[in-house]
């Protein structure tokens, strides 16, 4: 499976989390019930780690999505911002430009008319900002 398809799978899980609040493992267990489904390891890792860091990531969203309250951001945009910001802050092996581009392309595919430009604007602002050292994954939010 390509990384693009794996990101799409991760996006689906993060998007579903926006509604259910369930863990990635519970969402996958519910999805495989009654049908064969195999989640890509990269997709699983992205979704699980993003959801594990969602409180920290949402603080970044709130800081850079100026004039937007988190509850007003579309669920598609929010899920994509969460995924891309996780990659940008915690996955050193993935260039920021790749994370931004992939999120924008997924927004074009699954979002509304303005989702892609919104996602691009927020992620661009984060990328241009002088970031401090990211919080490690094992620290509490």
Domain boundaries, the chain: 3-128
Q: Which two tokens stand for residue 103?
A: 């999120």
Residue identified by tokens 């519910």 is 30
Q: Cα(72)–Cα(94) distance, rounded to whole angstroms? A: 29
pLDDT digits (tens, 9 = 90+) for 111-138: 988 999 999 999 998 988 865 544 444 4
How far, in Å, CA of 13 to CA of 42, rounded? 13
Contact 80, 100 (CB under 8 A): no
Match 């709130």 to its residue by tokens.
Answer: 62
Decide if 102 contacts 4 (C-beta within 8 A).
yes
Q: What is the pLDDT of residues 42-100, one digit of tens each?
A: 988 999 999 999 999 999 898 888 888 777 899 999 999 999 999 999 998 999 999 99
CA–CA dist 4, 2 (Å, integer): 5
C-alpha 42/C-alpha 110 separation (Å) is 20
Residue 137: its pLDDT value, please? 40
Look up the pTM and report it: 0.85
d(CA 64, CA 73): 12
The C-alpha atoms of residue 122 and residue 85 are separated, in whole angstroms, by 10
User: According to the model, what pLDDT value does residue 107 have?
Assistant: 96
Structure tokens at 97: 């430009």
For residues 57 and 140, give the distance between their C-alpha atoms in angstroms, rounded to a whole number: 13
- Four-way CATH pick for 3-128: 2.60.40.1180, 1.10.287.70, 2.40.50.140, 1.10.940.10: 1.10.940.10
């Amino acid at each position: 499976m390509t990384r693009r398809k794996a990101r799409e799978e991760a996006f689906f899980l993060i998007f579903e989390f926006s509604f259910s609040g369930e863990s990635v493992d519970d969402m996958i267990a519910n999805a495989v019930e009654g049908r064969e489904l195999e989640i890509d390891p990269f997709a699983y890792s992205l979704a699980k780690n993003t959801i594990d860091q969602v409180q920290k990531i949402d603080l970044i969203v709130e800081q850079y999505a100026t004039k937007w309250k988190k509850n007003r951001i579309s669920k598609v945009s929010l899920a994509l911002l969460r995924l891309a910001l996780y990659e940008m802050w915690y996955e050193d092996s993935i260039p920021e430009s790749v994370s931004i581009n992939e999120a924008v392309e997924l927004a074009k595919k699954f979002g509304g008319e303005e989702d892609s430009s919104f996602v691009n604007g927020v992620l661009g602002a984060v990328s241009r900002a002088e970031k401090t050292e990211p919080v490690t994954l094992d620290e509490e939010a």
